[in-house]
């Protein structure tokens, strides 16, 4: 009986630790989804800009390239977390 109680306590402890880990992973995933949404919104906003100045157009293109790379990184992190 004592052995059974000990095993139950150990299993409960393992489950609590696993629950904490899953909770942290879900929080991280939510944060990444929020960041991805923010990056996509910024990308849409910059896409709507109609610029004539070559320097500003170059800056816009560089910024959009940066945003696309960041989105790619975030999506890879999200994929890894889901596995």
Taking 80 as the threshold, does the pLDDT of residue 83 lie above it? no
Nearest to 77 by CA among 20, 31, 46, 37: 31
- For residues 31-48, average pLDDT: 93
* CB-CB contact of 64 with 46 (8 Å): yes
Predicted confidence (pLDDT) per residue in 12-34, tens digit? 999 999 999 999 999 999 999 99
* Core vs surface per residue 35-56: b (16+ CB within 10 A) or e: bbeebeebbeeeeeeeeeeeee
Residue 1 has a pLDDT of 82
Number of domains comprising the chain: 1
Write out the two tokens for 26.
Answer: 């879900």
Residue 82 has a pLDDT of 83
Q: Decide: pTM greater than 0.85.
A: no
**Domain extent for 33:** 2-82
Sorting pLDDT into bands at 50, 70 and 90, what band is 81?
Answer: confident
Mean pLDDT of the chain: 91
């Amino acid at each position: 009986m004592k052995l059974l109680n000990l095993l139950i306590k150990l299993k409960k402890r393992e489950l609590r630790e696993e629950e904490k880990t899953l909770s942290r992973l879900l929080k991280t995933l939510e944060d990444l989804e929020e960041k991805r949404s923010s990056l996509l919104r910024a990308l849409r906003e910059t896409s709507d800009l109609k610029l004539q100045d070559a320097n500003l157009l170059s800056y816009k293109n560089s910024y959009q390239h940066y945003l696309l790379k960041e989105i790619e990184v975030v999506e890879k992190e999200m994929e890894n977390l889901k596995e």
